[in-house]
Structure 1
Amino acid sequence: MGKITGFMEYTREEETKRGPLSRLEDWKEYAVPFSDETLARQGARCMDCGTPFCHMGLELNGLTSGCPIHNLIPEWNDLVYRGRWKEALERLLKTNNFPEFTGRVCPAPCEGSCTVAISDPAVAIKGIERAIIDKGFAEGWIQPRIPKNRTGKKVAIVGSGPAGLACADQLNQAGHSVTVYERADRIGGLLMYGIPNMKLEKEIVERRVRLLEQEGITFVTNTEIGKDITAEKLRSQYDAVVLCIGAQKQRDLSIEGRELEGVHFAMDYLTGVTKSWIDSNFTDGNFIDAKDKHVIVIGGGDTGADSVAVALRQKCKSVVQFGKHPALPKERSDNNPWPQYPLVFTLDYAYEESKAKFGTDPRQYCIQTKKIVSDEHGRVKELHTIQMEKIIDENGNATFNEIPGTEKVWPCDLVFIAIGFEGPEQPVLKQFGVETVNKKVKAPYGKYTTNVEGVFAAGDARRGQSLIVWAIHEGREAAREVDRFMMGTTNLP
């Protein structure tokens, strides 16, 4: 695929980003798309490899390797190289319902398992994917696909994140009448409120929702199952119900001072800021403001990085992010071989911005918060920490030991907790009476059936906190099983 000698002739080129200081002045996307000429060169780098590991979609060593939705990556790379964009779009949409989302916010496990990446930087798969779908919308190639026939079957989907939307899209195209219930005031789940606008502009989400509505899907917002409508009533009105409620129960921090004013969950912070920005351009004041404040983010993942980026745009006085683990190596370690997802040091967009603003990367490694201390008014004043040493024993098990003498006091006005998610919120699961295992919905992979007849589960609610591509994959697969349940057979992939 691509040019036979392309991977030897061309080097990887990265998407241009707007200047880190200038982009702090707005909430627009930070990435600038490739030109068509650059995309042709990048597509040319795709090798004619016998086994395209890029779309294998497996979990190796606990990490995703290759594309979980099995995108036909070599095929559309080759078509972009040859300038056959419309055909590239057709190949992309065969496996991916929402390339405009994955092309922006997916961590691209496909690139980690790219064959070129054995010895050179991977093919710029993510940038090519985004370019294909963006050109599809710009050229008017993306049009509503109205199902020709309806089956008379009705399906309710609870939750409008990527799993719910993918499931709805597939079932609607199969001819079923689909209604998606969302407790928030807008459709999209974490796509709408959990991911800041500078990574995924909300018009991109709303554009897709409008298209799905035109194709026949009904969306019901501001409706919480168990509160506004019972699970029993939902089951009585529909032939099947699919739970795609995500894993939104945030993991808390149990330390002295957690209850103080100024300590918040990071996702609550991100959600409030995004909602206020969409609703009123911040004039309603319904958000946590980091302006002129010392901010500390506890947790080293993407949610933490996004919190850093938001605080910077709010003109914080300083921002630091605490991580439990050591810094990653600059190159793959021996126990992280290709085609595993590469655990290597990178400078995320938020860290680029912090470095440009304050002169340093905001991340602090192997650090543990011991307590949060208040001022005389019960507000956060400072954090006390200690450095940790990570020890790996002969069985590969990790322990963390405190290093005496490394205690430190950090001035702080706001603390954001971003240490992950425990799983789905339990009240709605109890409403349906579905069984859980390790706080997640008990539904076998590939079947997605719960212990309750006609009730299915997919996405993070079933598998735990994961990637958008896994959510889309499970939404698609669950739709296939729902179709089979209602019709006795299925043509869905």
Structure 2
Amino acid sequence: MKLTIDNCELELDEPVTIYHAAKQAGVDIPVMCYKEGHDYFTSCMICEVKDKATGRVHPACSAPVVDGMEIDTRCEEIRERRKATLELLLSEHIGDCEAPCQRLCAIHSEVPRMIREIKDEKMDDAIATIRRDMALPAILERFCNAPCEKGCRRTIHDEGVSIRHLTRYAAEWDLKREAPYIPPAKESTGKTVAIVGSGVTGLASAYYLSLVGHSPTVFEQSDHLGGRLLTEHDEEQLPAWVLEGELKVLRGMGVEFKTGVVLGRDISLAQLGEQFGAVCLALGQSEPASLETLGLETTDKGIKLNSKTGQALIEGVFAAGSVVKPQPAMLKLVQGAKGVAECISQFLNGESITGIVEMYNHMMGRLQEGEIDIFVSGASPIPRVDPDGLELNGFSQAEAEEETTRCMHCDCRAKDHCSLRIYSDEYGAKQAEFKGETRAKHEHINQNAGAVYEPGKCIKCGLCVRVTKDEGEEFGFTFVGRGFDVKAGISLNQTLDRGLEKVAGKVIEACPTGALEENEKYQPVAPKDV
């Protein structure tokens, strides 16, 4: 039989589903309720495609190919149908992709993962998690205003987790080593960037540009690196070893530094533009008249530029930090550096300059009565660890590990591989498109099984039912209830540990969302002697 899929001609010797035919053609069709090795269920309908020959829409995971089909997997009608399907699923979804602390962090640091890694004494992993998003953590976390802590969900119960000091603890632990962690950068692009100014904005910009494979050179007019860090903070507030440690990391990433170079005296803006692919001005707060002598247009606050891209009115010249607008908060300086670095990178790569675009993020919203107790039940009840001299000395190892036990881990463990999130981002689905008046209550079922179960994240795909049945679980999952109230649960009202005696790992791997995830506290019960 012959057919086309996205204008690719196929000739098949035996009948297969549209989904498998598309795979042979190298065409990806999204699926959430189908998994190789198990029967199809045709419940999520995300795999719909259109046969242009008949005008009919088919579920690709179960519909067989027919001779003469002209399958279109990408037309606007199909995209809109998939988007609507996703929005209906999102309307019933209960949970956060990212924890409130991560969403409120201006640089989007993955706080819960870091806390778990410190708790488990995986310090190499913890510092890698921190530096994936945060430049200069050992400096920043001495002065950060910590909006993450104000938004920590635990504040509903008592006090937020001491995120700033946990991050500082890990960052300083790293810098005290002979060879601190050097974050891996993407493959070199061969593109160069001149950064003028070695304060927080300049150093952070260099960090983020290095991460994505560019080669920054930082120019500093003084003989010493650090800008206002050297003049506004004394040795007690910012010990020299901390600044030197962060500079060591930057040098290890390939950042070059040139001191004693004054812009406008030793080198002009035009010369920098000729020698480098882009220029980032991180001069700190400057008088408009001095900026105008460099050939820049100004406002009463600083350099005149595109507020969305950070680009000045000169092609290839960008600016960030207090030279644009006075910024007293160090976190805002690092945030601005991260944003302008992304824009510079897009410029250098010849892409549209959009800045940072965050992935789809589902939010549970305001907690209902009793829900905070569910979150707190998985954490230590101890009050916030607040030893004397904390601001000066930071946490000890014992204090840090004790504070980590207070984290409620509000994030979804599946957020990096959740199909519902990935497809919602791809198709531009909106959480509130079909929002009801009230949402169902959050549930978190932990019964000393190999998995924990959050029914509110279940999309009723049936994969857990098929996997436990096919793998021979005595009880396993089944569908409980009728109509709109149906949900997946353990057969015969058994507990989760009875339903997942053999294949918890396979069920977790099959689940397309975070409804079933690994139970980090699972302690297998030793078999009784006969």
Per the normalisation by structure 2, the TM-score is 0.45
Who wins on radius of gyration, i.e. which is larger? 2
Per the normalisation by structure 1, the TM-score is 0.49
Higher strand share: 1
